[in-house]
Structure 1
């Protein structure tokens, strides 16, 4: 029986928080506070500590829990935390480098906040169990009015996400579905970052960009992905496939998106699970196996699609074992 994305040690919100609690406790974050009220800059501190071996507690202002109702998107737009100004500066610097975005992040205005809230309602109505166990990992949403990137997040600052307000059909159903997919995409990332805080290796092992991604070949962007990017992408695609699977029941026009997302998740997990033990420790392999078990059924594929899914690791010429 196929696993689902809102159960087990990698899917259930409470279990994910329980397993990652020690990382935040070391930083001085009170276990009496909600494990889902971690400010993104505290998560950044924890990430730095886990990757560099720091052991001292975080500064007092970072350890203040994020206020607001977990079930309401209103807390995404609040800027009342003592570390919010520093977070904006941190993300501004990241937007200029890591994300290569020209515009700095800003608080969504009232109009964009309404659009995002509508998208949140669509997710709550379509995939209520999944959204309940994913949305609370987001604590701050920023608008980057860019037409070149729909959404983004940083693996070292979990809980803060970027969504672009640029749309040619703002307020339409297509816009609401697009924003819902963006929110689910980045919320799944935030959830995965929390999962990884409980791992011995907070980041996947480094590898060359060797995975020839078939849907990326014509984008004009980097055509090959490394192990780290492929793991987090497979996790996101599994979430999107579940969303489009439910949504396409009443909107048949979305069935192709459902199959695309499911194919992408399956393709990446198939490649990753062929890696030798030296390339993935047991925790990462277990997470990939679990992700693979959550992917909705693919349905009928073209011959080309079947061929891509059956590619052996040796067919990727840039892969270097050992």
Structure 2
């Protein structure tokens, strides 16, 4: 059996190897190629860009990244793509000023060059820290405007940018090193998608903001509240969290994961509905944070002597924390949320994903599964303990109706109330949940599936589908027949 550290190492490597979603050098190469091609197309409609575009074309990838990953330049590049596709790209355009200006200040990035203090963190792919001490500068004003767009739309929200100090630089440097040591493949890769870090103190309607990704308004930038995060383990976790968002932003420039991006779903730990895109992004993060938690549990003494024992820090519980992961509530841990989202995305919500999206979800789940078994050691199927020692039956009072043409079964749960859509596989497992024990279900399932899939894959599909039905409260595990009360 694989040991704890071996399981963590294998998952860390696996999560950095998928050609579309894990391989950061490949993802970043595609981003740079997209921007180079975009500039070529833009210059055909903005002739004044021609000389700057020719210069950019000759740059190596490191300098090209400094140009393209600058928050304001990247913002205008994405605007350029939108205008190009809408047939509205024309002069005058902000890129006509920004691009030559970015070339002039190399090897710094354009916005970085306007910062009063020049603080960088990280060594492999250094990131620069926003400094807000010069708000009169037009580039600083533009960054502030973008920040206000994130935190100023809701009257119940407030946010303040903070200027960095040397102590903040040291904290972030230490946390980058900690993350890179714990997850040298997937963690270090996520960091390469971050270009800039801004420090903030902010509240949204839901509470204190610990970290955030800039998204479309401040591309390539993440925000950290160092005072609220407090310790290097949770700062490292937030760097991983936001770096993963940046990584998936970059990956989905060329690969679509959502077939119905406008569709929304409800998760049990939030009182607002999420878009399916947000759900996929969240699952990506929870899988990696579960791995990060497992890595922290297997850490050697040298790291705890340097960064402190995670259990020694006092902080409020939350699912993103390594120090206090909220195990007292049903979905208080990252692993609980990863399990739930993974099962739902592979079953109930799978029709909302593209084939690439379903492959993405499957890859994440398969990468984490050995760590889940080895580290967390809990079965995800309800509360009946070992699923192979339980029997399963449908929840009383359900209403069901087949949609034969759509090859699915509609099931309404009055207790929720909620309408569930079961695909053919889930439908079969649902029908087999008539009081049979797990071994009895397995025999019947294999008889139906026959030679269409390998037996091991069929068993995986049965277990996965059954776990999803239990989580959806359509099926309940009970005591095995003849077991003592």
Structure 2 vs 1, CA of residues 234 and 188 (structure 1 numbering), >3 Å: closer, same or farther? same
TM-score (norm: length of structure 2): 0.53
- Structure scoring higher RCO (CA < 8 A, sep ≥ 6) equals 1
After superposition, residues 24-173 of structure 1 pair within 5 angstroms as: 24-28=35-39, 30=56, 32=59, 33-34=61-62, 36-37=65-66, 38-48=69-79, 53-54=85-86, 56=89, 59-60=95-96, 62-63=98-99, 64=102, 67=109, 71=123, 75-77=127-129, 83=139, 85-97=141-153, 101-146=157-202, 148-156=208-216, 157-167=218-228, 170=230
Q: 2:193·2:247 contact (CA, 8 Å) conserved in 1?
A: yes
TM-score (norm: length of structure 1): 0.77
Q: 1:95·1:105 contact (CA, 8 Å) conserved in 2?
A: no
Q: Which residue is equivalent to 2:18?
A: 8
> Is there any run of 5+ residues in structure 1 with no aligned partner, and where?
none
Distance in 2 (CA, whole Å) between partners of 1:159 and 1:305 is 43
After superposition, residues 135-284 of structure 1 pair within 5 angstroms as: 135-146=191-202, 148-156=208-216, 157-167=218-228, 170=230, 175-199=231-255, 205-208=261-264, 210-213=265-268, 216=269, 222-250=271-299, 257=325, 260-274=333-347, 279-284=352-357
Structure 2 vs 1, CA of residues 238 and 200 (structure 1 numbering), >3 Å: closer, same or farther? closer
RMSD: 4.1
- Report the Cα offset of residue 127 of structure 1: 1.2
- Report the Cα offset of residue 102 of structure 1: 0.9
Distance in 1 (CA, whole Å) between partners of 2:38 and 2:296 is 41
Runs ≥4 residues deviating over 6 A: 79-82, 201-204, 310-313, 318-321
Q: Does residue 300 in structure 1 map to residue 378 in structure 2?
A: yes
- Report the Cα offset of residue 124 of structure 1: 1.7
CA deviations 1:235-283 (Å, max 9, x no partner) are 1112212211111113695698499323322321221222577522223
Structure 2 vs 1, CA of residues 143 and 202 (structure 1 numbering), >3 Å: closer, same or farther? farther
DSSP 3-state at the match of 1:134 = helix
